[in-house]
Structures are given as structure tokens and as C-alpha cells.
Structure 1
């Protein structure tokens, strides 16, 4: 299958160059084209066929927005310069930067990875749009010539064919921490809770899978998307063998002008059980004191953090969100902001109490001391940044792909009364959203 996207972009770019509308000055220039795909080619199939990196795929959990972006015209490893870049071009308030924000960055580690794509294929509901971006600190016309050469090279490649079925099998698995060390870590957390060092801490496990076959990140993303419904789906590929991707149920926030929507997704039970139906487990979750306390702690923290920047705040009653392997408690928080500032929004909301704990700084110090790995992009956020509208999901239910190995991550909220074995079962259920995509070829080591 050949998608006639590249010839269309080539023609549009040449028309702009011939008309002299692309100036020989520094700046940003975008060409946007409404588009009706002639044949149905999934965006992930198209990205897989285009060797232009970095690449980003993102789909909203309700399916209303889907985007495939590739090629880094501008790349930012911190949020503030990214926002300043957008602010310098206010006439282009829909210009979007796509990527990730890290959970917490140490010395020398990136805070973010956000990029202005060369090419974006974007769908909002049933409307498709192609966007070609030029950017230069010297000459936009020179970047247009470079872009024309890139498009010509890409147009000579074979068309986008269907992704091969995902078939990478699990050869071995190793947890950090293993189950005995997990119990010890939970015991230390419960001691700290009794000493009132914090009210909640979220502790995580990383699982390294060694795989039997070659792993294509787009195929793994497609497989996760096919079974993990009602989730944000996100993928950032730096190269064919290196990517971070996942299917997360949780919104960090969406900002439209000065209106911000966020949520508290905390409190978890299995989607089904050997002796209980999903409805019975949902009813238990709605009435369980420990899980309700955990959710309300997150709500209170979000409201306190937003209060200095909010003209008004509203919170909805709790509801049950049912996913493939787990069910969650969710409350939605809506705020009217006194200014549009995504750096401030990220600082206030990330990491949430649902992925770090309360008080946030004390919980993060405990995590840094006791978790046996760095979280990096896990429990950070994935999405897009623009002046008019920004949205990020919490980067959960995720995988870090490195050639023929994959790191999976899952965490559990520890409060007074938590049980280590019950929390282990919770992270098993959460990790299953990604891990069950791999056909096990050997038994998991005992833990």
C-alpha cells in the first residue's frame, strides 16, 4: 500500500517555494493541508515504513485525536526552552511539540524530550490533516531546500505495508526488586509511615524481559493498542531499536486556553477474580476505606497544588474505570487558571501523588533511596505542548525497548495498612497490561 502523503507534501512545499512565500530569514513556517487518505493505512504502519527519527505516536483515550509525527526540526531536553520557543511564535498558537517529560531527573539526565516534527499526520475525529514544519535560526528558505531533499528521498522508498504480527516471545524475566526485596522495601515504607515521614508513598518494580525475536516498537504499540482499551496510547522512538511506549489510563492534565482538566486515578482492584465478578470487585473498591483514602489523598494534593494558580476548582464524585486487567477509582478536577503556563502546570502536577506519594518531596526522597532503579520516563508524562492547548497523560503501563530486551514498570500506592503480598499482586495485574503481549517461552523465576 502506498500512501500519497509524501507527493502531496512535496507538491505543496514546491508551490510555496515557487511563490516566494518562504522567506530567507530565521523563524518557523508551517504548511497545513486537509487530507483524505485514499486507502486505509494505520498511522503505526506508516511510521514503521518511514526511516525518519525521532518518531512519536499518540492517541487520546477516547479516540478523538490521533497523531503520527517524525523528524526532529527542533528538539528540547527541557520544558522551559520548549515553551519559550512556542511563545516566540504567538501567531502560530497551534504549533505542537510532541514527546515526554521525565519523572525526576538527576544530574546530566534530561528533564524532557520534546520535538517539533518535520511531518505530522494528525486526525481529529474524522478530519485528517498533514502538517509540514520548517524552522531555522538562519534561513527558512535553506531549511525548505533541505526538507525538499528529505521528502524526495523518502518518496523513493517502498510504500507502507501492514505491520507484521507481533510475535516476540519472552525467554526470561528478572524483577527489580524480586519478591523478598519487595517485602523488605514495603516494611521500610510502613515503618516510615508509622513515623509520619509521609502519608503515602508509591513504590515501583521494574521487570527486564529478554525476547526471542526481533522487536519492532510500532508492532508492540499496535498490539498494546488492540487490547488495552480506554487508554492513551503513546510511543517515542529515537531509533529503530530504541523506544519508550505504553497504554496509560490516566490523564495528567489537558489545558485549553485557561481551562485545565486533571484527575485523581488512585485505588485499584483486579478487573475480575476467581470467585468474584468485575461488578462485585468494583462495588468492593467503591466502598473500601483504604482505597477511598488513597484516592482522596490524591484529590486533596492536586487541589492544594492548583489553588495558587486557580480562579475556581470543581471536583466530581468518584467513579469506577474498568480496564483489561484492573479497575480504578477516579475523580475529575476542573480548574480555571489565572494564566496559561505549562511549565507551571507541569511543576504543580507532576509527579502526582498517584505515582509518587504525599507529601511529594518526602515520598520522592524515599523512592530515590530505596527503589533499586531510576524511573526515567516511567511515571512521567507523554503528550504535546502548544500555546492554544496542551495535553499529557501519565506515562504508565509502559515499556522501555532496547533492541531485544524490554523493561516493564508498575507501581503501587503504600499507605498505612498496606500488605506487601497484596501490593505485589496489584503490580502484577498492572504489569500484565503489557506483559501478556509477550508469549512466555520459559517459566518466570521464583520470587
Structure 2
């Protein structure tokens, strides 16, 4: 049965009303079961805004071999202590994908990140997934569905709410800016970079990553999907496309180029991505900037801090570690990075969640030594990080993948909070680092300009 996006709710509920536990098409697990439908559409991202439910998670990896849209939640995991439950559930349910993210670090709640738990992982009610054969619509059912008629009605009611069509999804995403301000002023930035360099020169720390935030306020509530659609169109090359709506009015999106880790069976793939310059106006300038980047002592030092950390971490978690790409250039739309790629085999006694525990945060987004860098970030930065530079992705039995939430922004009603950071080492210049963060924000600021919001500057 092929389902169209327009009739998804009615067709799924009608099919499930007739379903019983003896169906040959049902895949049963100890706590949850799966019933699969074939979609009559191929473009998953085009239906993100079709549903009213606020718990939405869209994930397209940069290799373009995984694309999922998770809707609704049967169960939330809001603490790092829930890793054990997550591991147990995906081991016993080969069809489950547990999706979401966790904060960069534990921190006091802030106005823009209010309501975001330390961890925000969840078992989706519906998982729409791209496969080589097309698109599957996977409906996850708690096994209480088969207990009695009352439980069945309750599950169907919750699924109907999750699949309820959004009457606003055809509205225009045009809007008008009322204010744009960097919440870290240029003077503040100069002071915190100077303080960081001073600590580095006193050998208290070797590297720290500092971030800042640009807040753009609009007259009307922002169309999350309208913004994301344009971002996805403009930032597909060498980048993830991620959207996570974790509350009715808050939506995080990221077009990050950085893989925290990708796990296929026991095979691990990891990026070391640090050292940055802008793109050139033409090929000649672009190539010259690339060569300058690859010979820049400060940028190479920053990159090698990250690579050494990854190698040391993998030595305790994996075997057969190989460098498959060393200190080459990864080109993105507005900037280019020094890039090293690692592969290895996860040890049998290591868990998927160990990769998050020990890799995050890497020196690419925090610094070295890690505990002191995180402490200094809390002391110096003027903004809460929330999901900026945080692990975001999914767990499953056969594949698990997490990106680092960079090139990102948070929508909170009428406000768009844009985040960017840069690595500070002993030779860092506050002016150059300010310009680097400005370039990293262009994924969003250029989209705003292209939408003819002419009062943006």
C-alpha cells in the first residue's frame, strides 16, 4: 500500500485499526513493534512542515546515504544516565532509531534554550526513512497496542495527533527584520580573546574555542521550514542538513560539515576538522587561500591539536585505526577547512555511547585540556551554547551516526539566534577570529539577504 503525504494520517490509522499481533507484516520486539508502509513520495524534506506535531527530527548526513524524518515521541531520554537504556533498547529492537541531541555541556537555563533538557533523545512514533528502493513509513507501536481495545484506542489517538496535518504549511516564509545585534560586542570579544591568549601564554591551556551569537529579530514568527528549505538548497555539498524541533516554538538547525562519528556495524569513521579560511572570489584566489591555509602555522597547530586528541581517544576504544585522508582541504560554500579522516574498528567491549562520552567535545569545539577548556568557556563566553557544537544524530543497532552541531541557528518564535566559534591558540588575533565567525555565520546571514529582507546588515 503506497501512501500519499496528503492522506497519511487517515490511511495509517485505518490500516492500524484492522491490525492484530498475528499479522505477517508486523516486526515484533520485546517492548515495541514495527509496521511498515511504502510512501508514494520521494522527497522527505518537503513534508517536514506537513505535520503539526512539535517533536520533529530531520537528519540527512553529508554522505547522503541516510535520510530520516522522526515524528512524535513514545519515550524521551533526558539524562546521560539513560545511555544504558538506549543501548539495551536498540540491541533488542533492530528496527529502532533513537534520535535527538544533547547539550554541549551542562549549563544554567537561558531564555532562548528554555525547556531544553541536558539530553533530548526520543523513540519516534513515526519514522520516515529513505531506502535504495524508495521511502518507507515506519510506524512504531508500543506493545500495549495489542493488550486490549482500550490501549489500542489510546495508541491510535496519539498517532492521529502526531500525524495531524499542519494547516499553516503552505504559508509564505516572508518576514521583516526589526533588529539585528551581536550579543557579544566587538569590545567584549577583544577582551575575552585577550584573556584566553593570556592563559595560553601562561601555559594554563593550549587551545580554547570561543563562540559568539548573532540575534536577528523578526516582526512575525519565523517559518522554520521555509528557512530550512533555503538552507538545505544552499548548503548540501559536504554538509549535513539537520532540523530538530524540540518544543512548539523552538527549532534548531545545522548545516555542519563535521562528523563526530559514524558507526556502520563496528566500523568507525571520524573527522578531524579544524583550521579555517574563507573562500576566494575566483579559482585563483581560492587556490591561493588554500595553499596559505595549509602552510599557516597557527591553523596547522589548531588542526593537529584535534587530530592528536582523536588518535589518543581512539587508541582506547578501537583497533585497526587508519588515516584515510590527511590534512587536505574540505571546501564549503563560504569557508574551507583543513580535514583529516580516520577509520577504525570499535572494540567489542566498547558501546556506541562511549564514542560520545569520550570524543565529545573535541578540541575543535572546546579546547585542550578539555576540562579546563570547558570551565574557561563558561567563564568567558557571554552566550549559552545549548545545542551549538553539541552531538546530534541517532542510535540504531546496525548504524549510529552523530554530527557536531555547527553552522547552526535556533529559532525561538520571532528570534533567530545564529552561532559560530573559532579556535584560539597563542598566535590568535581577535580581529581575525571575529572575521572567521562572521564568515561561518554566512550560511544564515546570506540566506536572509537573499530573501530580500533589505533592512538586514
TM-score by length of 2: 0.88
Secondary structure at the aligned position of 1:293 is classed as: helix
Q: Partner residue of 1:360? A: 370
Matches within 5 A, 1:389-428: 389-428=399-438
Distance 1:23 1:60 in 2: 26
Distance 1:401 1:75 in 2: 22
The more displaced of 213-222 and 96-105 is 213-222
How far is the alpha carbon of 1:372 from its aligned partner? 1.1
How far is the alpha carbon of 1:85 from its aligned partner? 3.9
Matches within 5 A, 1:49-198: 49-88=50-89, 90-106=91-107, 110-125=117-132, 127-135=134-142, 143-152=151-160, 157=165, 163-198=170-205
Answering whether residue 326 of structure 2 is matched by residue 323 of structure 1, we say no
Distance 2:106 2:128 in 1: 31
Runs of 5+ unmatched residues, structure 1: none
Distance 1:137 1:361 in 2: 44
Which among 223, 226, 229 is matched to residue 222 of structure 1? 229
Query: Taking structure 1 as reference, are residues 125 and 265 closer, same or farther at Cα in structure 2, changes over 3 Å only?
Result: farther
Secondary structure at the aligned position of 1:299 is classed as: helix
How far is the alpha carbon of 1:126 from its aligned partner? 5.0
Distance 2:309 2:163 in 1: 51
How far is the alpha carbon of 1:19 from its aligned partner? 4.2
1:251-295 per-position Cα deviation (integer Å, ceiling 9, x unaligned): 110112222111111011101259962222112212222211211
Residues 101 and 387 of structure 2 are in contact (CA less than 8 Å); yes or no, is this contact kept in structure 1? yes
How far is the alpha carbon of 1:66 from its aligned partner? 1.3
Distance 1:8 1:413 in 2: 51
Residues 82 and 114 of structure 1 are in contact (CA less than 8 Å); yes or no, is this contact kept in structure 2? no
TM-score by length of 1: 0.90
Residues 208 and 366 of structure 2 are in contact (CA less than 8 Å); yes or no, is this contact kept in structure 1? yes
Distance 2:164 2:278 in 1: 49
Query: Taking structure 1 as reference, are residues 267 and 286 closer, same or farther at Cα in structure 2, changes over 3 Å only?
Result: same
Secondary structure at the aligned position of 1:248 is classed as: coil
Residues 145 and 152 of structure 2 are in contact (CA less than 8 Å); yes or no, is this contact kept in structure 1? no
Query: Taking structure 1 as reference, are residues 260 and 89 closer, same or farther at Cα in structure 2, changes over 3 Å only?
Result: closer
Which among 240, 254, 270 is matched to residue 262 of structure 2? 254
Query: Taking structure 1 as reference, are residues 127 and 20 closer, same or farther at Cα in structure 2, changes over 3 Å only?
Result: closer
Distance 1:67 1:24 in 2: 21
Secondary structure at the aligned position of 1:436 is classed as: helix
Residues 73 and 123 of structure 2 are in contact (CA less than 8 Å); yes or no, is this contact kept in structure 1? yes
Which among 301, 314, 328 is matched to residue 309 of structure 2? 301
Q: Partner residue of 2:35? A: 31
Distance 1:427 1:24 in 2: 49
1:67-95 per-position Cα deviation (integer Å, ceiling 9, x unaligned): 11111111111244254244146342231
Query: Taking structure 1 as reference, are residues 125 and 277 closer, same or farther at Cα in structure 2, changes over 3 Å only?
Result: farther
Q: Partner residue of 1:442? A: 455
Secondary structure at the aligned position of 2:361 is classed as: coil
Distance 2:213 2:371 in 1: 22
Answering whether residue 382 of structure 2 is matched by residue 372 of structure 1, we say yes
1:294-319 per-position Cα deviation (integer Å, ceiling 9, x unaligned): 11110001111121112232123222
Distance 1:199 1:89 in 2: 39
1:153-192 per-position Cα deviation (integer Å, ceiling 9, x unaligned): 677747896x555323433122231111101111111111
Which among 326, 338, 350 is matched to residue 360 of structure 2? 350
Query: Taking structure 1 as reference, are residues 369 and 276 closer, same or farther at Cα in structure 2, changes over 3 Å only?
Result: farther
Residues 86 and 93 of structure 1 are in contact (CA less than 8 Å); yes or no, is this contact kept in structure 2? no
Distance 1:320 1:201 in 2: 22
Aligned-residue RMSD, C-alpha: 2.8
Query: Taking structure 1 as reference, are residues 169 and 277 closer, same or farther at Cα in structure 2, changes over 3 Å only?
Result: farther
